[in-house]
Amino acid sequence: MTKEISGFSKLSKAEKIDWIANHYFESPEEAKALVKSYWNSDVKLQQLHDDFIENTVSNFYLPMGIAPNFNINGKTYTVPMVIEESSVVAAAAKSAKFWATKGGFKTTVLNTEKIGQVHFIFTGDKEKLQGFFQLIKPNFFYDTEPLTANMQKRGGGILDIELRDKSTDIPGYFQLHATFETKDSMGANFINSCLEQFAKTLKEEAAEYDGFSAEEKNIRIVMSILSNFVTGCVVRAEVSCKVEELTDKNIPDPHAFAEKFITAVKIAEVEPYRAVTHNKGIMNGVDAVVLATGNDFRAVEAAVHAYASKDGRYSSLSHAEVTDGIFRFWLDLPLALGTVGGLTSLHPLVKFALTVLEKPSAPELMQIVAATGLAQNFAALRSLTTTGIQEGHMKMHLNNILNQFGATDVEREMVRKHFKKHAISHAAAVNYIESLRKN
């Protein structure tokens, strides 16, 4: 049976599901029942979800958890997190509670500029192009006024436009490099619309410019697109306390803990193989809040990891030190986030999450996200340098194993009692469950 199909997008939802079930499953009816079991019973709500993307057949659920007690700049936040990985929410909550009694998280938005570029080819005289750009630069602002009017009312808009010569990298390659302020929206559609108008203005003005030769008038636009590498949209989060205050049941010697913790961070600063996993732990917290608030976690991931490589080598995003007896742990993250537009006004659980966060502005959300990432990193490093990371993680993973085997309440209780005294592994848990059932 061929699995190629023409006109799939034109099929109804039911027809798409039928085709998939009949082509890929031994029991098509079971497959169809599974897909439909994840539909929302509210028809209007399901239609809303169907319209988010193309060729929708069902919903894919992830757990939404809550990490309370985040003291950020003196205000207490309850942070919603969407993630499938065991122990992440618990670790964030534990870190939040640890630091709440030590002054909490201090965060600062360093800047909020976003970037977009028009990439084009010009093979003529560079000095002529520079003079032409300076002459028509006001036109870029004028021609985009219908697009920028509402944004300007909110205090945003186009900040600046530069001509950048990249011809040493690619012959004839130049950019219009523009910076934007988009206030509480992430601003992708706004920026891209402005860029496309820049490209149109550039091409039309060049065609009419008397200072260009016939060949120079033919500027070739390659593409117009925002950049997710938001080096001008950065937030800092940090925690600090006296070394003596770094105590809990797993930290008997705070000075030894601080020394080991800082060494672990320095290893991530110099060893890329460690840095990737180190930064992934930060992103466990970051992505979970970004997802919960309806923002683009792929864009955030791309920007953050590029930022981790900005000095020519992939390195830790976080840093730690002890100065004059004060332990300090901090990170800087490029975060382009929005609290209006996109899914923020459409997805019911995104609205729920933003309400739990008390409807933050975009800069405030940047700070919450950065603090959650730092909390997650602290929790991971504390575990790695004390008890080891697997103890807590495997306790949480045990629930997944019990669910996988459909364990009864009695079996769950017996399994948990058994593994209070024995090391947890997937194989050990499976063997114990099977032995219970045999007996």
Answer yes or no: are the C-beta atoms of 151 and 157 closer than 8 Å: yes
What is the identity of the amino acid at 418? H
Question: Which of 106, 114, 393, 397 does the annotation list as catalytic?
Answer: 393
Question: Which of 85, 204, 332, 391 does the annotation list as catalytic?
Answer: 85
* SS3 of the chain: CCCCCCCHHHCCHHHHHHHHHHHHCCCHHHHHHHHHHCCCCCHHHHHHHHCCCCCCCCCCCCCEEEEEEEEECCEEEEEEEECCCCCHHHHHHHHHHHHHCCCCEEEEECCCCEEEEEEEECCCCHHHHHHHHHHHHHHHHHHCHHHHHHHHHCCCEEEEEEEEECCCCCCCEEEEEEEEECCCECCHHHHHHHHHHHHHHHHHHHHHCCCCCHHHHCCEEEEEEEECCCCCCEEEEEEEEEHHHCCECCECCHHHHHHHHHHHHHHHHHCHHHHHHHHHHHHHHHHHHHHHCCCCHHHHHHHHHHHCCCCCCCCCCEEEEEECCEEEEEEEEECCCCCECHHHHCCHHHHHHHHHCCCCCHHHHHHHHHHHHHHHHHHHHHHHHCCCCHHHHHHHHHHHHHHHCCCCHHHHHHHHHHCCCCCCCHHHHHHHHHHHHHC
**Residues belonging to the chain:** 439
Question: Which of 97, 217, 266, 280 does the annotation list as catalytic?
Answer: 280
393 classed as catalytic: yes
Q: At what angle do helices 188-208 and 126-143 cross, to 10 degrees?
A: 130
Question: Other C-beta atoms within 10 Å of 77: how many?
Answer: 24
Question: Which of 184, 296, 347, 364 does the annotation list as catalytic?
Answer: 296
Return the active site residues.
85, 280, 296, 393
